[in-house]
Structure 1
Amino acid sequence: MVVIRLSRGGAKSRPFFNIVVADKRVRRDGRFIERLGFYNPIAKAGEESVRIAQDRLTYWRGVGAQASPTVERLLKQAAAKAPAAAAAA
């Protein structure tokens, strides 16, 4: 099965995660099929904390990829921030 999940990067005590499409059997930070975006949990106020390619996300979900619970939560948070950012611009 193909899943959309987080792959950890960054230094010790400074996490940074890539949002990737990978085979479920492959280890967390191992080989992946495609990188969809990133999540920076320690982003400052002016920095972008989540970025995801919506077109590729739609494609992968259309062919049956399932997102992990954490990625689902991040997608909901990003969707909630997007209308607020669009209204401010």
Structure 2
Amino acid sequence: MQRTGRINMPTFRIVVIEHARSPKAGNFVEKVGVYNPKTKERSLNAERIKYWLSVGAKASGTVHNMLISAGITEGKKINVLPKKSPPKLAPVEASKEEVGVAAEDPATEEKEEATPEAPAKETTSEEAPAEETKSEPESAEKTE
């Protein structure tokens, strides 16, 4: 769809464009229809639209829904503006599944708990020699 018209009086051209071209630039291959959102008036060239779709052109979500409601193509309408809340629910469901799996396998929990303890002991043993090296130079200074 290519927007035309004045401010607060939009009209749209339904056009066929190549992937590399921008609809705002005005470079289109063919104009196949017009849509006025204020009056809900639309004029579509069904023959040319069917041709371009058969060749491999893909309609945008809005144009796809318009073609279905006009009866030019068949299929389900696409949700063009999905709500943002469903992606937030996905991590919550995943964490619930993890809790359910962990509750079923207590042996795996014990193994997981054992592995974090081992690196913790290693870090304390590494810190201890570092403290000793600091105390050695102090004792050397006292003897001089």
Bin for the TM-score computed over the shorter chain: 0.7 to 0.9
SS across alignment from 1:25: coil
Shift >4 Å, 4+ stretches:
none
Deviations 1:7-63 (A, max 9, x none): 0000011110000000122112220000001110001xxxx6111111101110111
1:1-12 → structure 2 map (5 Å cutoff): 6-12=1-7
Task: Please tell me whether the aligned partners of residues 50 and 78 of structure 1 are also in contact (alpha carbons under 8 angstroms).
Answer: no
Higher helix share: 2
Larger Rg: 2
Q: Report which of the two has the higher share of strand.
A: 1
Q: State whether structure 2 residue 61 is matched by structure 1 residue 69.
A: yes
**Is 1:28 aligned to residue 23 of structure 2?**
yes
Point out which structure has higher relative CO (alpha carbons under 8 A, 6+ apart).
Answer: 1
What TM-score do the two structures reach when normalised by structure 2? 0.46
Could you tell me how far apart the structure 2 residues matched to 1:25 and 1:70 are?
20
Letter in 1 for 2:3: R
| Local SS of the residue matching 1:29 | helix
Are positions 1:60 and 2:57 aligned together? Answer: no
Q: If the length of structure 1 is used for normalisation, what is the TM-score?
A: 0.73
Structure 1 counterpart of 2:38: 42
Structure 1 unpaired stretches of 5+ = 1-5, 80-89
Measured in 2, the distance between the counterparts of 1:12 and 1:77 equals: 27
Instruction: Give the length in aligned residue pairs.
Output: 71
Indicate if the aligned counterparts of 1:10 and 1:16 stay in contact, CA closer than 8 A: yes
RMSD: 1.6
1:13 aligns with 2:8: yes
Distance in 2 (CA, whole Å) between partners of 1:77 and 1:50 is 11
Q: SS where residue 21 of structure 2 aligns?
A: coil
